[in-house]
Each structure stands twice: as C-alpha cells, then as structure tokens.
Amino acid sequence: MKQAWLLTALLLFILGGVFNIQAQTKKVKESFKVLDDGTVHIQNEAVQDENCLFGSDGEIDISVYGGVSPYTYEWTDGIGTVVATTQDLIGVVAGDYSVTVTDNTGCSSSANFTLGYFCPYTCSGLLEVTTIDPSSCQASDGEINATLLEPGPYVYNLYRYDQYNNSYTLIDNGSSVGATFNRLFTNLPPGRYELEVTAAGPCTYTTSADLAGTDFYLTGSSSTNNTSCVTPNGSITVDILDTTLPHNFQVRWKNIYTGAEDSQLENSTTITISNLVAGYYVVEVRDLDTGCMIQHGLFVNSSAPFLTVTTNSIVPQSTCTPPNGSISIDVTGGSGSYTFTWFTPSGVQSTKDITNLTAGSHFLYVNDLVSGCTNDVASNTFTVANTAVTPSAIYVVTPNTSCTGNNGAIDLTPIGIGPFTITWYNEMLDPIAGTEDLINVAPGIYGVRITDQSNGCSRFLFPGDGSPEVTDHSLPAISLTSQVFNSTDCNGIPGNGAIDLTVTTAAPTVTYLWNGPFGFTSPDEDIANLPAGDYTVTVEVTCIANTPPVITPDPLSATSGQTLIDLDLLAIITDAENNFVIDSLKIIRQPVSGAFAELIKTPTTASLRIDYSGISYLGIDSVRIEACDALGACSQQEIFITVEVTSSIVIYNAVSPVGAPGNQYLRIDGLPQSANRVSIYNRWGDLVFSINDYDNLTRRFEGISNSGKDLPSGTYFYKIEISGGPVVTGFLSLKR
C-alpha cells in the first residue's frame, strides 16, 4: 500500500468573532486491476502424436478457463469434418485439428493443433569388419569387408586416419538400401581406416580397421617411465619387420599432450626414442627407400617425484579496495622452467608470486616445461588471513507520526575504523542524501552504503534486505482490505466486474474517490458493473493525535558457545498513552543470517527468541519487530546482534561417479542449504560446474559439467561461497 499525506489548506476566517478552522486530513491510495474473465481461454496441456506401432492413438488434452461454465466443445479435422464434441480429443490419426469452445453465455474461442507421426526406433545393430592386408607396403590391394545387421537405407563414409597429424581423409562414401548393409572396400594401401555408417532412424555406427603390408609392419612396442624431473629419461621402443635391405628409416614422434615433436634417423628394426617426458606419443616410422610408413601410439608414464614448493612469505589482506594479500614461493627439484596456475577465491593467476589477493585458501599447480613433473597439489595450500574490517552499522528508526507532514528519522551509527562515507538511497535506488542520519523523511524503505575510507571496505544495506524502514504511525491508522471480482462479460463494456472494499479505521468520517477507465469516478465504498481495467481509490480520514509504542533495544551478541538468545521485549517497549497491546507484537523480517526467530507471548509477558544453531555467520545480524497500540498506531524497530557463529563444514573430496554409493558425488556436510554457491574449476582454471543452494540431493556435483558432459579423471578445485560467511576453497580428486 502506498500512502500520501495531505494537509488541507488551514484557513482562518474571522466572521463576527467566530473562527472557522478546516480539519487536517490524511489520504491513502491503493490500486486494483479488474481482469477480463469473459474471454474463453484454451490452454494446451498435452499433445501425443500418433505412434506408428499402434496407429490412431493421437491425443490432444486441453484445459479451459474464463467465461462462464459449463462449456461445449466442437473438434474438426483439417477438412472441417466434426470429429468429437468432448473436451479432449483422443484416438485420432496424425493431422491438423481445430477446437471451438463456447461458454454458457455464448462467448466462444478457437484454437488449432497439429498431431505428428512418431515412430520410435532402437539402435541395436553391430558394425563388423574383416580385413585382408595389402600384399606389400607399397601395394594398394588391401580390403575391408563391412557388415551391419540393421534396416536401411544407409549412408557410409570411409576415412583414412593420420594419427600423427590427427586428420582424416575421405576415401570412399555413398549410400545403399536393403535389410542389411554389406560393403567391400578394395584397392586400399596400408594404414588405419575409420568407417561410419548411418542406418534407418537416428542410428550411426563407427568402427576402425588397421591394414599393414606383409613386408613392413609393427611387431611390438614398449615404453619406460620418466623418473627424473631434471633430465627426462622416459623412453619408447618399437620393433619393425622390414624385408628390404638396407634399413634406412626416418623416425619422428609427437607428444599429443604438449605438442612437442622431434625426429631421428635409424638403420635398425629395433628403434628406441629416449629422454622423453610423460605423455601420449604417436611414433611414425618411414622407410626412406620404399616410402612405406607405420604409425603407432602409446603412453609414457611418470614415476618421478613431485616438485618441491617452499613459502617465502604470505601477506594478509588488510584492505578491500583493492585487496592487498600476497603469496611468494620458490620451486625446486625440477628443470627450473615452470608454468604456474593459482586457484584463488577471486579467480585464476598464472605468475610465480601472486598479489592483490582476497582472504581465503589458495591452491597452486606447477608444471615443469622440460620434464612434465608437477607439484603435490594436496600439499600446496596457502591461506591468506583477513585483517580488513568491513564496516557495519546499527540504527534507530523514528517512525513518521505526523498526519500532516514527514517527521520520520533514522539515526545511524557506523561501526569500523573510519572515517566513513555514507550514501542513502530510496526504494528506486536513487541517491537521496550523504549525511550520517536522515531526518524529516517520509514513510518508506531506505538503503544505505557505508564505506570505510581507511581501508576501502564497504557494506550496502539493500532496500528491503535488512535496511531501515520508516513506518507510518500517524493516526488514525487506516487498513484496507478488498475483494476483486473480474468481469465475465465477453462483450467488454459495460462489464460486470466489482470491487468490494473494507476500510478499518478509528476516524469518525471516511470519504472515498474512485477513478477508473473510460472516465469512471465514484464516491462509494464499493463499486460494481465494471469493465476490465485499472482502478484507484483514495480514502481520506481526519487526523487525530496519538503516539505509537517506542522500542529501544540494546545491542545483542551470539557466539558458537551461546547460540540461543532470549530478549524480554516488555523491558524495551514504552508507550506514552499506556495502550500498548502485547498481542500486536510480530516479527516483520526474520534475521538476515538465516537464523530462526520466534515470539513467545502470554497475556502479561513477551520475549523474542533467536536460534543460531546449525548456521555459519560472522558479522552484524538484524531482525525487525513491530509493536502497536489499541488505536492501531504501530512502530517497527531493527534489533542488531553481533554474531560469531561457525558450523563445521566437512568436504569429502574424492568423487567416483561409477564407484561406491557414498563417493558418487561431492558430499558437503554442514553446509547451509540456502544462500550458498558451489563452483568447480579444472586445473587450468576454467569454470566447469557451478550451482546455487547445493543440497547433496538433487543439486550436487556428480562429475558432470554444466554443459552435461562427463568430466575426465583428474584433480579439480572447488570454491564454496556462503552468505555472511567465509569463502571455502580446496581440491578434489575425480576418478572414473
């Protein structure tokens, strides 16, 4: 309800010694909307297409509202033939349909629908191949015979795969029909081939085949681990059968993970590549005499020790704008050439030493560019302390008690180091004042931003979210309740809508002024025969004198050792007219922290109880209560509590989506199930998963990214943000 106050001009007339004074009045305005319920509305609830396995089983389910029931229905098909007179259409074939719904007054509406033809299909085929190797490494007489037992038609593509360059070359493609797919591919040289066949429906099948010349092919391969972080010593050995002499080979290899590649000349059929870091390698051996070529991929694993990270210094965050925490480290045990990836509460950094840090846990991933060695991420967690003080405030609100003007006030006391910059805002977030206190303000909700100039930290109390509210306690109090009856006349004007208004007030006289569409006005309390539209009523009463109860609380505190607060409300409430009503006490807003507050009232006592058990919150909390007197004059007051309560949050950081039931998701115990946010990053600092209100049930991390893809095994980093609490960060291991 929006209120406006009017002082009718105070006129003083002297007529034969008689003074005539016009009374001071107060006005309240409220708006209403009468909707058009005369129009019949048709809503599509469900459409079931015809199924090719059954036939004539299409359905259209509708719901109808508006107008005046009961309704009649008429369904027609695409050529205008009436097919049903029921609300829902069932047992029909695919096609176009229309329905006309008529209400009890003759108003009608129509809607069109289209039923499709659904043919479910299960992909259950198996693409199999047999091969015949080429007669020599230089011959192109190899064969691949492919068979697929799945109904056609078919579209196929045969590619030759270059493992070294990870590229595909289209060799053959085409289409065919029939009950089975059978295709013989001939005249093929040695190499790896990928075959893709698309059958009826959405089914696509792929398989691969390797062809090797009988005079030049791979007979075996092996690898040894890299065990050094200073000088890589991993190796790969491949054995070649080559029937031609002499043996002149060009060997090249590529680390698919890093992109590093090299080459060497060989004249032995046993080829060893040394000094390798860990990774997946593709080795290519080419006979320089014949041009024949072999490609083969295999892993080099690592059994090298971790790199050692030592801390030089950690500087806490002491300012907010900008944050000024920092970490300086050194790395030993490797080649000396490294990349750094820091995961911090405020983002990712890639330098050795990092600055401009906010408080919290910071994780470091180091990669040796020469050996591929890494640090032990689990052991390299760095905590930056927070010594910056974010300002807070307590305030006392004086409600507006003037029926003829604005005399509300807010007395603000900022808490912090200071000096402070303060900006007040109205409900529209327009800045209205830069003073510490507000005086002579109208009823309403106000926001305030408090900035501590000593460290750049600020706090913004958003209007309506724990911010001050100046309430109207001028008398007489006016309470409006109403019931709106929408217009059911489909002809629009004059309409048959109505608004039943009830005004509760102690004023002896009440006047009304209604305004509406098409120039509508009325001085009556209730109005009827209304068309759809927007209506506004102004209720005017005569001002009377009275003051509301006054609530004067003292600051409270809660800690982890004392989470229950009981406050005697009668000790902090006074009323000049002694007409305060205990039963009028109510909680206007629960604590910002999420704690639960309740009123405990008897005919002669009243107390406020706040329970902080089971939550985490650090800072100034507040709860708003209201007290009223017998004449309806009310006051609201914010009660502030200094809270230092932390609940134990336990993170189980081993996730195995296909493992034991307890490890299939990231389990977080002790986390408040609202006002939290959990984010997951990969080791390169990319955000792969984020969700609000994490609850370990349906809103949880199961190794799947926000885009719906399964994430690979590895080390990931989490960030947990809790409203009013610290940011919690750490790492987790994902294993598939």
Q: Tens digits of per-residue pLDDT, 7-18? A: 222 222 222 222
Amino acid at 728: V
529 domain-assigned: no
- Alpha carbons within 13 angstroms on the beta-carbon side of residue 598 total 6
Distance between CA atoms of 321 and 366, rounded to whole angstroms? 29
Examine the domain organization and report whether 17 and 63 are in the same domain.
no
Examine the domain organization and report whether 557 and 630 are in the same domain.
yes
Q: In what order do the strands lie in the sheet with 533-542?
A: 2-6, 25-34, 533-542, 510-515, 521-522
Distance between CA atoms of 35 and 639, rounded to whole angstroms? 42
Examine the domain organization and report whether 48 and 27 are in the same domain.
no
Examine the domain organization and report whether 635 and 654 are in the same domain.
no
Distance between CA atoms of 293 and 284, rounded to whole angstroms? 7
178 domain-assigned: no
CB neighbourhood size of 666 (10 A): 24
Examine the domain organization and report whether 95 and 69 are in the same domain.
yes
SS3 percent helix, strand, coil of the chain, rounded to 5, is: 0, 55, 40
State the pLDDT at residue 725.
66
State the pLDDT at residue 7.
27
Domain limits at 296?
Answer: 216-300
Question: By CB neighbour count within 10 A (0-12 exposed, 13-18 middle, 19+ buried), where does 421 fall?
Answer: middle
Distance between CA atoms of 333 and 344, rounded to whole angstroms? 25
Examine the domain organization and report whether 624 and 555 are in the same domain.
yes
Mark residue 662 as left, alpha or beta (left: phi above 0; alpha: psi -120 to 50; beta: remaining): alpha
- As a dihedral over the C-alpha atoms of residue 150, residue 152, residue 155, residue 160, rounded to 10 degrees, the angle is 30
Pairing verdict, β 654-655 and 728-734 = parallel
Distance between CA atoms of 687 and 680, rounded to whole angstroms? 6
pTM comes to 0.56
Distance between CA atoms of 415 and 450, rounded to whole angstroms? 9
563 domain-assigned: yes
Considering 279, 300, 321, which residue would you say is the last residue of a domain? Answer: 300
State the pLDDT at residue 673.
61
Q: Which residues of the chain have pLDDT under 70?
A: 1-24, 53, 201, 492-493, 545, 647, 672-674, 724-725
Examine the domain organization and report whether 574 and 630 are in the same domain.
yes
DSSP 465: T
Q: How many domains is the chain built from?
A: 6
Residue 239, domain CATH: 2.60.40.10
How many residues are given for the chain?
Answer: 736
Distance between CA atoms of 286 and 270, rounded to whole angstroms? 14
Distance between CA atoms of 377 and 456, rounded to whole angstroms? 33
State the pLDDT at residue 450.
96
Examine the domain organization and report whether 665 and 701 are in the same domain.
yes
Distance between CA atoms of 490 and 184, rounded to whole angstroms? 72
Q: Give the DSSP letter string of 212-244.
A: -BTTEEEEEEEEE-B--SSS--EEEEEEEEE-S
User: Which residue matches tokens 């003759």?
Assistant: 106
Q: What is the pLDDT of residues 507-517, one digit of tens each?
A: 888 999 999 99
135 domain-assigned: no
Examine the domain organization and report whether 638 and 695 are in the same domain.
no
Examine the domain organization and report whether 573 and 611 are in the same domain.
yes
State the pLDDT at residue 576.
85
186 domain-assigned: no
17 domain-assigned: yes
- 670-675 CB contacts, 8 Å cutoff, 24+ apart: 671/696, 671/720, 671/722, 672/594, 672/614, 672/615, 672/616, 672/647, 672/722, 672/723, 674/594, 675/594, 675/722, 675/723, 675/724
**Token reading at 41:** 């509305």
Considering 276, 300, 324, which residue would you say is the last residue of a domain? Answer: 300
361 domain-assigned: yes
Residue 354, domain CATH: 2.60.40
Q: Give the DSSP letter string of 103-144.
A: -TTS-EEEEEEEE-EE--------EEEEEE--SSTT---EEE
State the pLDDT at residue 443.
87
Residue 627, domain CATH: 2.60.40.4140
Considering 622, 645, 668, which residue would you say is the last residue of a domain? Answer: 645
Examine the domain organization and report whether 561 and 612 are in the same domain.
yes
513 domain-assigned: no
